[in-house]
Amino acid sequence: MTSSEGAFARALVTGAGGFIGHHLISYLTYRGYRVRGVDLKEPEFEPTRADEFVVGDLRDAKVADEVTRDIDEVYHLAADMGGIGYITSNHASIVRNDTLINVNTIHAAHENGASRLLYSSSACVYPQYKQLEADVTPLREEDAWPADPEEGYGLEKLYMEKICQYYREDLGLDTRVVRFHNVYGPLGTYEGGKEKAPAALCRKIAGIEDGGEIEVWGDGKQTRSFLYIEDCVEGIHRLMRSDHVDPLNLGSDRLVTVDDLIEIISGAAGKRVEKRYDTSKPQGVRGRNSDNTRLRAALGWEPSISLEDGLARTYEWIAGELAVREAPAAVG
């Protein structure tokens, strides 16, 4: 069964307990999809809106087979991943876990007759030799080859992109590949080692008084572009509905430094912030930005939520979470 209308489509979202997966389920159910989610755990911060949620491990081929039955579209977001500190210190486990998850899921989707699968890749697939300067040239999709991806996480993402191509060309499974560029927003991990830079900085700034000091990994001059979660899930859905089969960037093309991030977040917080730089900590590539030329051509659309607006919403949510957690327990 296939359909271009959400009201008649049965969708599977893998990684449904995670940040992007949870938001995507809300987006799809609002549009009439019947959604099944699967993950090792349910969402941390609010209940899922999935019609069915399976707590299961996609490293087990039997689980992948079970959850892909009677499904039209697979939104494959499940991955072992985290912030730069996590992905640079766990190469072996990340590659093993994600390879099992990916191969099991795409093969089960094909065997069970899914009409289409979207795979969530990453800007980490891009060659490190093209990201040596802070004032980096925006990365085009074709720049991924010749390959020199981020070790571990980036390499397995690039390999899975090719597996999607082979399943499409050899076996007829219609695939889409999206390359995320630093997605952030409310309801995401903000502590524990797997958080990304925007969430980590929001947490640090929320935890100090006006004029306090935070630790900054690196010298503050490294650059990235950042994509707000609402734009992310809309872009995912637009790509799934499109005829574009090659990998596609999904990100903002506004390049900012880590120092810029801190300035924007501190402005949202209404605080003056002192910075203590630690260049011994993992920093990733020196600069990375998204070229959105093909995104605009393929989808007739591009992200629209400003970094200032998105970071203000994210800071407000994280500060609120910390305030609730640290509030004294009621007496009586």
Where does residue 280 rank: exposed (0-12), middle (13-18), buried (19+ CB within 10 A)? exposed
Three-state secondary structure string covering 185-228? CCCCCCCCCCCCHHHHHHHHHHCCCCCCEEEEEECCCCEECCEE
Catalytic residue (one of 75, 153, 167, 190): 153
CA–CA dist 211, 261 (Å, integer): 17
Phi, psi of 195 (to 5 degrees): -75, 150
CA–CA dist 183, 230 (Å, integer): 10
Nearest to 263 by CA among 311, 327, 323: 311
As given in the structure block, the two tokens for residue 219 are 């010298």
Exposed e or buried b for every residue in 104-140, given b needs 16+ CB within 10 A? bbbbbbbebebbbbbbbbbbbbbbbebbeebebebbe
Q: Would you call 153 a catalytic residue per the annotation?
A: yes
Name the CA radius of gyration of the chain, rounded.
20
Residues with a known catalytic role: 153
